[in-house]
């Protein structure tokens, strides 16, 4: 269950991060703390591909890479600047997001 207020949300996220990281190690400060998250070692399939890639591809899903996510972040910051509104304005629809992260080749 997802909580209904900020403290519930923070607890939920902390628990998700602990689960992802295998939980805090002995002597670790409870999550979240920058740099504490220990990522599990990736387990590649025999062909060297990330195991979840096949599942996503089978569902027609193409994951967004970190570099593409950074392009979205930049586009949102640029939009905010153009509109004179804070640090970031969310892109308004899926087409705008895809255009930002995977621009057409020039």
CA angle 106, 100, 34 (to 5 degrees): 130
Angle (CA) 21-26-27 rounded to 5° is 110
Q: Report the alpha-carbon angle 67-68-70, nearest 5.
A: 65
d(CA 78, CA 76): 5
Q: Which residue in the block uniquely carries the two structure tokens 């923070």?
A: 10
Question: 3-12, 21-30, 75-84 — which one is most confidently predicted on average?
Answer: 75-84
User: CA 60 to CA 85: how far, in whole Å?
Assistant: 36
Residue 71 has pLDDT above 80, yes or no: yes
Measure CA 53 to chain center. Answer: 16
Tell me which of 30 and 17 has the higher pLDDT: 17
Say which residues have a Cβ less than 8 Å from residue 43's Cβ, sequence separation at least 6: 51
* Statement: the pTM of the whole predicted model exceeds 0.95: no
Q: What is the pLDDT of residue 64?
A: 85
For the chain, give the percent of residues with pLDDT over 90. 26
- The pLDDT of residue 77: 93
Residue 68 has pLDDT above 70, yes or no: yes
Q: What pLDDT, on the 0 to 100 scale, is given for residue 24?
A: 58
């Amino acid at each position: 269950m997802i909580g209904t207020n900020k403290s519930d949300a923070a607890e939920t996220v902390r628990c998700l991060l602990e689960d992802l990281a295998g939980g805090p190690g002995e002597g670790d400060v409870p999550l979240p703390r920058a740099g504490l998250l220990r990522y599990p070692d990736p387990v590649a399939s025999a062909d060297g591909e990330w195991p979840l890639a096949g599942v996503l591809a089978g569902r027609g899903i193409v994951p967004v890479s970190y570099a593409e996510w950074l392009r979205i972040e930049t586009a949102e910051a640029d939009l905010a600047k153009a509109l004179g509104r804070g640090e970031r304005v969310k892109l308004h629809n899926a087409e705008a997001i895809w255009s930002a992260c995977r621009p057409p080749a020039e």
